[in-house]
Amino acid sequence: MARQAITLISAVLALILISAGVAMACPDWRQGPTSGTLRYGGSDLWNAKSFEVVAGGDQYVDPCNIRHASTGEKATGYVAYAPDFELEYLGGSGYQLELKVVSDCDSTLLINTGGGNWYFDDDDMGNGDARICLTRPSTGVYDIWIGTYGPDTCNAHFILESWSGGNCTR
């Protein structure tokens, strides 16, 4: 009887530890995207492209110590383990790349570039929505997470658009 109790307690503890490990994992750019792979160059995005997505996830990014490559801002909020989208950016001389979220909640945007740089935003779009402007985007792969500030998910639109002449930084 004591041996069965110890076995049961060990199994419960193992489950708790495994569950905690999954819930506390950091976003992993090596995972395949859950909402699709996108392939565009700067001229393709002169007219904005919009994609429906569910923002948020069960990964709390605060403990992951992910910091914006330019500003040093620490990422916060909740995202999925795997990226929502993978963008293969084909480049385009003179184009700036704007990535933004329009959602039913307080959204966040997390990007990992092929060069290993992280970019994060919470509210730059206004109205609780996220926006990142890359003024000199490199050709390559961008892994993109559409997150939420709080633990709940919500419906969102992820929007890609290119600009020339500095309009992205408006």
Across all residues in the chain, what is the average pLDDT?
85
pTM beyond 0.85, yes or no: no
Quote the pLDDT of residue 68.
87
| pLDDT exceeds cutoff 90 at 19 | no
Quote the pLDDT of residue 24.
61
Give the residue among 63, 2, 38 at the shortest CA–CA distance from 144: 38
Q: Domain residues of the chain, as ranges?
A: 27-169
Q: What is the dihedral of CA 14, 17, 21, 24, to 10 degrees?
A: 160
Give the residue among 46, 80, 74 at the shortest CA–CA distance from 60: 80
Mean pLDDT calculated for residue range 106-114: 94
SS3 152: coil
Cα gap 23→170, rounded to integer Å: 37
pLDDT by residue (tens digit) across 54-99? 999 999 999 999 998 888 889 999 999 999 999 999 988 889 999 9
- Give the chain's count of helices (H) and strands (E): 1, 11
- CATH fold, domain 27-169, is Jelly Rolls (2.60.120)
SS3 63: helix
Quote the pLDDT of residue 31.
96
CA distances from 133 to 57, 67, 125, 160, 170 (A): 24, 16, 10, 10, 10
Quote the pLDDT of residue 25.
86
- Mean pLDDT is lowest, of 28-37, 40-49, 93-102, 160-169, for 160-169
**Triad 34, 36, 42: Cα angle to 5°:** 140
Cα gap 131→169, rounded to integer Å: 10
| pLDDT exceeds cutoff 80 at 15 | no
